[in-house]
Amino acid sequence: MTSVLDTVRPTWVWLHVDVFWIFYLAAAFCLPYVLLKVTQLYQRRQKLLKALECFPSLPMHCLYGHTQELQDQKLDKIVSWSQKYPRAHPLWYGGFLGCLNIYHLEYAKAVYSREDPKAGVLGYDFFLPWLGRGLLLLHGPKWFQHRQLLSTAFRNGVLKSYVSLMVDSTKAMLDKWEKWTTKHKSLDTSGDIALMALDSILKCMFGYKSNCQNRTTTFLRIVRELTAMIQQKMTSFLYHRDLIYRFTPQGCYFWNLRKLVHAHSEEVIRERKEWLKDQRELEKIKKKRHLNFLDSLLCAKFGAVFCTQFPDCDAISSERTAHAI
Phi, psi of 301 (to 5 degrees): -120, 125
3-state secondary structure of 302: strand
The vertex-284 CA angle with 281 and 289, nearest 5°, equals 145
Q: In residues, how long is the chain?
A: 325
pLDDT of 209 reads: 79
Per-residue pLDDT at 174: 92
pLDDT score recorded for residue 19: 65
Q: Which of 153, 136, 134 is nearest to 302 (CA)?
A: 153
pLDDT at 253: 93
What confidence score (pLDDT) does residue 123 get? Answer: 65
How many Å apart are CA 249 and CA 50, to the nearest integer?
36
How far is it, in rounded angstroms, from Cα 97 to Cα 57? 15
Q: What is the pLDDT of residue 290?
A: 66
Quick one: pLDDT at residue 144? Answer: 76
* Distance of alpha carbon 254 from alpha carbon 252, whole angstroms: 5
Cβ–Cβ under 8 Å, residues 253 and 122? no
Reading the chain (325 residues) residue by residue, the pLDDT tens digits are: 445 445 545 554 444 556 677 777 777 788 888 888 888 888 888 888 888 888 888 888 888 888 888 777 677 888 888 889 989 989 888 888 888 888 888 888 887 777 666 555 556 778 888 877 776 667 777 777 777 777 766 777 777 878 888 999 999 999 989 888 888 888 888 888 888 888 888 888 777 777 888 887 787 888 889 888 988 888 887 888 888 888 899 989 999 999 888 888 788 778 877 777 777 777 777 677 667 777 777 766 443 344 444 444 444 544 454 444 3
Task: Spell out the residues 6+ positions from residue 66 whose beta carbon is closer than 8 angstroms to its own.
Answer: 58, 60, 91, 92, 93
Q: What is the pLDDT of residue 312?
A: 46
